[in-house]
């Protein structure tokens, strides 16, 4: 891409190879990029957290710091709990990681878990037991009225989401009957079935493959990661100006929803996530997994910055095209064209937008494909600041 003066929508395309197509200015230079000690997140991310989570700026900064500590403590707490581990989540009111342990946990185990800084809560089933129940559900054929399912340590069961009004459907009833036989299962209702967030060709800050518009996820060395449903392996990719960028080097959908695209022909990558209308901020510094309950923000070429919380990990999503496994569910909204865009918690990359239900006018839920799985699958290295 030529380094010339271009309109705002074009500028965003330059940065989308840093993370996603949501930029409003050129990549930060060494002179205008804040150091890692100046701010925990970009102004755009903090602003979106204030808007979507009802926080003050001080509260948003404090929450990011608390979530960073919880994220660092989680793997230590998991190891300390051992076979008694029942899952973990971030408790926003206390600002601490909560770790579920089964009733047979020894005093030594409880002490070791608390030593990590986590709060302990007794749960009925271990994470291993819930995972086994979920694995049994994966073998069942889910009807369209079943939206998704995931293991929820707070509920002590595998939670199955059913679309409102479909509970009495014969196929749904049969699925739920078999699900209850598989192990501890709780049923909840959801407003609508999930769909992917790709879109037909429209204006904005896109990348295109054929007549589909999607958003960039995160820079990796040699390219970027995005959603698999946006294009098949070998498909050509063009930028905002329809100039050639590269090709899908790998893609998987359904079962997974991930892909990666090589970058060339004058395009480049940068380890940056930009908020719309804000100054760029070197923000992507790793990919530590944020726990359930942590705040998370998403950016895409349609709806820009929006925030919410992580609601579940390892959830199976039942799209019309087929099930996608090991997804993360959030309370963040999204709309067509946002597919593939970045999910980030603080300065840690989390994943790429897959699909959901609702919109950013009335709200909804969105799932993302965890970024670490994509990196591992294709042997990629995240481009970090």
- Annotated catalytic sites, by residue? 229, 257, 339
CA dist 280 and 385 (Å) reads: 12
Decide: helix, strand or coil at residue 177. helix
Return the ∠ at Cα 23 (arms to 21 and 28), rounded to 5°.
Answer: 125
Contacts 24+ apart (CB under 8 A), 166-175: 169/143, 169/145, 171/143, 171/145, 172/143, 172/145, 172/146, 175/140, 175/141, 175/142, 175/143, 175/146
Classify each residue of 108-137 as buried b or exposed e, where b means 16 or more C-beta atoms within 10 Å of its C-beta. Answer: ebbebbeebebebbebebbbebbeebbeeb
CA dist 372 and 381 (Å) reads: 10
CA dihedral 111, 113, 116, 118 (to 10 degrees): -110
The kind and range of the H/E element at 223 are strand 223-226
Look at the alpha carbons of 303, 305, 309, 314 in this order and tell me if their dihedral is positive or negative: positive
Evaluate whether 19 touches 284 at the Cβ level (below 8 Å).
yes
A 10 A CB-CB count for 269 gives 21
Which residues sit opposite 306 in a β-bridge? 298
CA dist 104 and 299 (Å) reads: 43
């Amino acid at each position: 891409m030529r380094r010339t003066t271009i309109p705002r929508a074009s500028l965003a395309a330059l940065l989308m190879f840093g993370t996603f197509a949501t930029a409003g200015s050129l990549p930060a230079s060494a002179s205008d990029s804040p150091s890692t000690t100046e701010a925990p997140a970009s102004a755009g991310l903090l602003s979106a957290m204030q808007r979507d989570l009802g926080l003050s700026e001080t509260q948003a900064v404090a929450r990011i710091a608390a979530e960073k500590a919880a994220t660092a403590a989680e793997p230590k707490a998991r190891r300390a709990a051992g076979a008694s581990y029942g899952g973990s989540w971030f408790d926003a009111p206390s600002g601490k990681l909560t770790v579920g342990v089964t009733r047979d946990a020894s005093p030594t185990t409880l002490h070791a878990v608390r030593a990590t800084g986590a709060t302990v809560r007794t749960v009925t089933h271990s994470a291993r037991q819930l995972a086994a129940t979920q694995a049994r559900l994966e073998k069942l054929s889910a009807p369209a009225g079943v939206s998704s399912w995931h293991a929820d340590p707070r509920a002590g069961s595998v939670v199955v989401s059913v679309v409102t009004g479909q509970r009495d459907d014969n196929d749904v009833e049969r699925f739920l009957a078999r699900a209850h036989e598989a192990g501890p299962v709780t049923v909840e209702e959801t407003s609508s079935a999930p769909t992917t967030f790709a879109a037909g060709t429209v204006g904005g800050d896109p990348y295109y493959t054929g007549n589909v518009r999607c958003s960039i996820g995160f820079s990796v060395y040699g390219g970027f990661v995005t959603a698999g449903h946006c294009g098949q392996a070998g498909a050509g990719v063009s930028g905002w100006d329809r100039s050639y960028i590269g090709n899908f080097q790998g893609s998987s959908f359904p079962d997974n929803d991930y892909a990666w695209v090589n970058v060339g022909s004058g395009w480049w990558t940068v380890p940056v996530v930009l908020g719309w209308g804000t100054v760029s901020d070197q923000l992507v510094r790793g990919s530590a997994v944020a726990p359930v309950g942590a705040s998370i923000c998403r950016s895409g070429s349609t709806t820009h910055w929006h925030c919410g919380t992580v609601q579940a990990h390892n959830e199976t999503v039942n799209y019309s095209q087929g099930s996608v496994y090991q997804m993360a569910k959030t309370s963040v909204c999204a709309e067509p064209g946002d597919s593939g865009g970045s999910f980030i918690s603080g300065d840690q990359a989390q994943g790429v937008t897959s699909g959901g239900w609702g919109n950013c006018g009335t709200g909804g839920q969105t799932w993302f494909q965890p970024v670490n799985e994509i990196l591992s699958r294709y042997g990629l290295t995240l481009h970090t600041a």
